[in-house]
Structure 1
């Protein structure tokens, strides 16, 4: 009987069935086209940013190293869910194994926690560069950066491991149908017969702690940056410093605002916010920020924009020269 307790746990559940966007099945084809385009732009943009930074020796500075790690995270987040999501939208095949479901869930949440840590590290980098420029190389040494990146990765893994453990040990009901496009934590937790609120509360509290601490330190960094910038005598120096930070602020806004809204809406009931709205917001969140980040850095950071443009034009020139017919030598 649906909803009756079972001796099985989610750990023993063989498969789940993802529904896509419940209530918008007729629009799945259009959603597939939109998601395919956004995912393609995200992959291409982040790969270009990584390639340019890694191959250009003049960009081997702390700021660009962080900018090289961020696209990696921005590739992992959508890649964890978009291929299966597109399979659902294109073919209607929503069957996903237990292992794949929870690996998907773990990677989405862990890499999201890593991204907020990277944004904090980048804010610290800008603070040191603008407020303590003479000590920039001594503070942000290669070993310091490696330690920061390792700490960011470890924090994301450590934060999400207990959540996954709690969820997989919940007793499972008869239904294995997940009313979502991917294995979102709350959507899977609601399949359990037992009280899933401890798991949901842990996720909510942890999200606010991680994001809250990061946002407080980011806000502090930028407050000190603004104080230092406006103490400069030249207006041109103001504009240059603010332009340097503008891309970071834009990326943070795209990441934090939709993310907090998605977390808040996931905890609401369907009579408060329609389910398809909640699912659509969660779907677009995992791909929108990764798609926009390389565009923002490419457009707002002049140095990166010039290097990307030079790399693209050079590639086209080489391709054109190789494919153009060679002139026959006179006999």
Structure 2
């Protein structure tokens, strides 16, 4: 399948070429609604003035897309047998893995790219204090701020991929600098080994960074696998079935945790001292060595999308080895060594 896409204020065309047939896409909601707003010229400061209605997240989406805070909309196309499919249309170059997962995020106020843009706008417009938390929601404060001239987003687009599909686990950062030339270029700017959570406590999914702290104290519960016999001896408040495991919960307090980037339900990318890195060890966070964590903290900012991808998989047997094993078994059966 060959895909060609165009997303530009002056060239709003998005097409899909598949099986030799050119199919025009009908952009759902956001891109179609951009038409009237694009007709309004920017002011001398390079910003636009808008008047969003209360609780209209679709209009907020189009405003943030116009000012460079949200970098994608959705299109639909008809497949070869009449099926309707949706596809994420990015206005910045993204890796294939991000394109694949974003096709399934859906057009809703819970979309990670939309929430990412909201958080970046809140930070840029000083709606958050130094230790502020933003969940990426359309609030009255956001609506009020959007009624004023909106400066364009000057932050680069960044995506954090946390890969736990194989050892060693690792984190990579994809960056597309702000558009200063005709065509934006994206590239991987950093990679580090990491630890994720035991018993799949770092779930798969995508979320924007909603709080960043140079240092903090973390508290929580750590799951420890126990036998069924031990499980039944524990008080009900101290035990649980967690992702298919019988566990007891051990409370912990971790002071002086450095370089913290919270992205989902108390889970964060941060430094934590370990004897080694590259496999599940945490209670759900993504842990890094000190020097690497300091570098990552300097590169990331509010709203960057973090995607946790992959489960541990057993290595597949190579075909060549399987053929050798098969011949050996046949030979042993023929010679009577295996009955």
How does the TM-score come out when normalised to structure 1? 0.25
More relative contact order, 1 or 2 (CA 8 Å, 6+ apart): 1
- The structure with the greater share of residues assigned to helix is 1
Which structure would you say has the larger Rg? 2
- The structure with the greater share of residues assigned to strand is 2
